[in-house]
């Protein structure tokens, strides 16, 4: 099953900052190399799902309509570059709500993958923070932490669970998956 799960903020688009959100179409700026990475995954036959927490909706910082407009712009830019996102799933609940879709819970991931199966051992989740690594562990898939967003290498010293791999950004992570893992990436783990 060739599935890749991607977090959005800090992985596909630039990290807006701690406690901040992309609140408008104008605020969406894709990470350098993200379009190329998604095109490479698409050409390699992967089904690509973006799964992201967007609590800014429940906090009233932006509307679902605005979130949909931001998503449409992102998908359009990716499509123009030759990539295809199969599905985008958001949890818009606040942090304190006990929903099944907010990471590190796996509800959105299972819903996104639908009838593609429930064996996630060969699936990757590429994210930029501790919750993404924990989510991958809870789902039973492989995690790749990118350093283009929220987390840095220093953060790993305090984490209970470490990622299976790390990469500078989405493009490096995707090249490692599709083209093979260079030795220096193995050593970063």
18 assigned to a ligand binding site:
no
pTM of the model: 0.91
pLDDT-derived band at 185, boundaries 50, 70, 90: very low
Using one digit for the tens of pLDDT, what is the confidence trace for 47-104?
A: 999 999 999 999 999 999 999 999 999 999 999 999 999 999 999 998 788 899 999 9
* Annotated catalytic residue, options 9, 129, 132, 164: 9
141 assigned to a ligand binding site:
no
**Is 7 in the active site?**
yes
Using one digit for the tens of pLDDT, what is the confidence trace for 139-151?
A: 999 999 999 999 9
Using one digit for the tens of pLDDT, what is the confidence trace for 103-160?
A: 999 999 988 888 666 789 999 999 999 999 999 999 999 999 999 999 999 999 989 9
In DSSP notation, 86-138 reads -EEEEE-S-TTS--SSSTTS-HHHHHHHGGG-S--TT-EEEESSHHHHHHHHH
In the chain the domains, ranked by start, together with CATH numbers, are 3-188 (3.40.50.1000)
91 assigned to a ligand binding site:
yes
């Amino acid at each position: 099953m060739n599935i890749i799960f991607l977090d959005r903020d800090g992985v596909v688009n630039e990290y807006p900052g701690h406690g901040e959100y992309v609140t408008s179409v104008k605020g969406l700026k894709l990470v350098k190399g993200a379009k190329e990475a998604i095109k490479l995954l698409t050409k390699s036959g992967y089904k690509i799902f973006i799964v992201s927490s967007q609590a800014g909706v429940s906090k009233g910082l932006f509307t679902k309509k605005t979130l949909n407009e931001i998503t449409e712009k992102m998908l359009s830019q990716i499509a123009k570059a030759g990539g295809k996102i199969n599905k985008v799933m958001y949890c818009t609940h606040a942090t304190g709500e006990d929903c099944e879709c907010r990471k590190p819970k796996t509800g959105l991931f299972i819903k996104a993958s639908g009838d593609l199966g429930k064996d996630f051992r060969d699936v990757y989740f590429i994210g930029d923070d501790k919750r993404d690594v924990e989510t991958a562990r809870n789902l039973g898939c492989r995690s790749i932490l990118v350093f283009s967003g929220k987390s840095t290498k220093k953060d790993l010293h305090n984490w209970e669970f470490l990622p299976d791999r790390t990469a500078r950004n989405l493009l490096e992570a995707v090249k490692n998956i599709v083209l093979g893992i260079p030795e220096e990436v193995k050593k970063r783990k």
